[in-house]
Structure 1
Amino acid sequence: MPRLAVIGGTGFYDVASATLKEKRVVDTKYGAVEVSFYMADGEEFAFIPRHGAGHTCAPHRVNYRANIMALKQIGVERIIGVCSVGSLRKEIEPGDFVLVDQFLDFTKSRPSTFFDEEGCVVHTNVTEPYCQDMRECMAEVMHRKHRLHYKGTYVCAEGPRFETAAEIRMFAALGGDVVGMTGVPECVLARELGMCYACVAVATNYAAGIGHETISHGEVVEEMEKLGAALQDYVIRCLSVIPEKRGCGCKSACH
């Protein structure tokens, strides 16, 4: 079973630089998840398209708990999340990659924890919500044509609507660097199950009020298609440098 996994969104469905071994449906208490198993550079990894095949599930309806639990059940220890985002800063340009190190959570209705049963009181340490060991490994990977920002705060909005210009100004004033709709609770759920999680956010556009007047999903898809090959190449090279032994504290973050 693979120790590594990738969860991707728009533009990361077809992993061209890897060989598909099999697809398998994994049943969890939260629902069934189809997981693809790939081999690249001698490393096996699992892959889940976050929005389902054909991008049929909106961000606020993604079954985040089922996705993370499915990976846990097959033995995955470390996850790279790939998220498309809008930039809140002029210096983070469309096409740039960001290894996010913090988040601000503005989600509203999505289930956000595995510990929601009566009498179950568990608190999870998310002072550093993304695995520092993974981030350090990923920061060392050559990123070639695309600029890589080594840190950034990810603002997670509920969606599926895009943000207002006023919200974007608020997010930026609070210290946000990029905004998306899928990064939370994915990273928190992984931490709750003792799994390492790192996120590479891909800026597809400037957020509302920073760039041009309108933002569309088609614009995001078009930009991700342009970046798809380079993004896949970067992520797969990241997988190859992540060591087998874990020395971080992710697996003991719940109390």
Structure 2
Amino acid sequence: MYAVDIPRVEFAVIGGSSTFSINFPQDLNAPDVQILAENLIFPTPYGDSPSLKLFTIAEKKVITVRMHGWRRGVSRGKASQQLFWVLREAGVKKILAEGGVGAINHLLKPRDILVASDYLDFSMRKDVGLDGDFLLTMRQPVCPVLRNALLQAAEKCSWGKERIFDRGIYAVTDGRHFESPAEIIMLGRLGADIVGQSMCPEVYLAREIGACYGRVDIVTNYAEGVIRDWEHQELTDIFYHEASRMGNILLEAMRQIDARQECGCADLRHPTLLKE
């Protein structure tokens, strides 16, 4: 549904590969979730936005997108610009994201949950921004309030045997191929625990629009050269059978948070000094 008027929304969920196999949030059958609108597409200065969905949970209005807004025929950087332009215009203050990642740290194994605390950016999308003239401070890249909410939600949505890690360094690469064993060795030596493709530029764009950002990731495979070769069947099992757990973590975290930004994230962008 092509739309012009962007609704006022303070909360957003950026879906990734860990919920891609379900229709989020409908398939979770949460009694406090109500779908308000689907297939919303908005014109932006960067092209038409990805298809968005609007729902309510615990009296909060939430806007969500599937698979980071990535789609055929649109570069990933452009898709991020389109998405975050809409989030900015909507007035979004809190963003939850998710994904599937490869384990670099040898202590991690498939199906582990990790709430990232920092990142290393090896993507080629660093110049993706909006039209805001800001100096962005990244000393607190992930909102501590959102991290805590995601951790509590992950614990509540576990059966007691799943492993949940409350910190870790997310190395961002472009994909879509997996990294080489030599690249994984390099990333590990630099301190990375997991590797994926979506934390950047999302973490920069969230800071640019003044929103808090937090994410939860599930380990879907060992990175190349770690422990053992990853298996496509195991990847498939996690893709289809862990999606509901990841979706429920997002919903439970959304129930816990509010729109206040006492964490200081919104104060970490400053007017640029480089003005003509």
TM over 0.5: yes
State how far apart, in whole Å, the 2-side matches of 1:188 and 1:135 are. Answer: 17
Aligned match of 1:155 in 168, 171, 178?
Answer: 171
State how far apart, in whole Å, the 2-side matches of 1:76 and 1:105 are. Answer: 24
Q: Which runs of 5+ in 2 are unaligned?
A: 1-7, 271-276
1:127 matched to which residue of 2?
139
Q: CA deviation at 1:112?
A: 2.5
Alignment pair present for 1:252 and 2:267:
yes
Secondary structure of 2:88's partner? Answer: helix
Q: Is the 8 A contact 2:125 2:201 kept in 1?
A: no
Q: TM-score, normalised by structure 2?
A: 0.81
Equivalences for 1:1-255 in 2 at 5 Å? 1-13=8-20, 14-15=23-24, 16-17=27-28, 18-23=33-38, 24-33=40-49, 34-52=51-69, 56=72, 60=76, 63-109=79-125, 111-114=127-130, 122-141=134-153, 142-145=156-159, 146-213=162-229, 220-255=235-270
Indicate the structure with greater helix content: 2
Q: Is the 8 A contact 1:157 1:181 kept in 2?
A: yes
Secondary structure of 1:27's partner? Answer: coil
Secondary structure of 2:179's partner? Answer: coil
Q: Is the 8 A contact 1:208 1:215 kept in 2?
A: no
Gap change, CA 1:243 and 1:115, over 3 Å in 2: same
Q: CA deviation at 1:169?
A: 0.8
What is the CA RMSD across the aligned residues, in angstroms? 2.4
Q: CA deviation at 1:59?
A: 7.9
Q: TM-score, normalised by structure 1?
A: 0.88
Q: CA deviation at 1:20?
A: 2.5
Q: Which runs of 5+ in 1 are unaligned?
A: none
Aligned residue type for 1:161: H
Aligned residue type for 2:259: E
Q: Which of the pair has more CA radius of gyration? A: 2
Identity %: 24
Secondary structure of 2:84's partner? Answer: helix
* Aligned residues between the structures: 249
Aligned residue type for 1:101: S
Secondary structure of 1:26's partner? Answer: coil
State how far apart, in whole Å, the 2-side matches of 1:60 and 1:161 are. Answer: 14
State how far apart, in whole Å, the 1-side matches of 2:75 and 2:101 are. Answer: 12
